[in-house]
Amino acid sequence: MAKKQTFGDKVKGQDSKKQNTYIKIVKAVTPDSASGIRFSEEIIGVSPDENVDNFVKKYLTESK
C-alpha cells in the first residue's frame, strides 16, 4: 500500500496551527523568618491571540 500522507504534509500541517507562547515568571520573595531571598519560578502558556505584555501585567496584578 502506498502512503497517503507524506512527511512534508505532516510538517506543513503543524505550521498552520496556532501554538502557545511559553513564558517564565520568576518572583523574588523575602521571608520574615530568614535573612535571604527565595525565588519562585512558574512557566505559563500564553495563547497566540493575546499580547504577552498585557498578559503578564494582568497576571501579576491578579496574583497579589
The answer to whether the pTM exceeds 0.75 is no
pLDDT for 17-50, tens place per residue? Answer: 678 899 999 988 888 887 889 899 999 999 989 9
Among residues 31, 60, 61, 28, the alpha carbon closest in space to that of 44 is found at: 60
Of the candidates 60, 26, 28, the one whose C-alpha atom is nearest the C-alpha of residue 43 is 26
Is 14 a residue whose pLDDT tops 60? Answer: no
Q: What is the pLDDT of residue 53?
A: 94
Strands 21-29 and 38-46: antiparallel
Q: Name the grid cell of 43.
A: 512557566
Q: Which residue has the higher pLDDT, 10 or 62?
A: 62
pLDDT by residue (tens digit) across 45-54? Answer: 999 899 999 9
Cα 58 from chain centre: 14
Q: Is the pLDDT of residue 64 over 70?
A: no
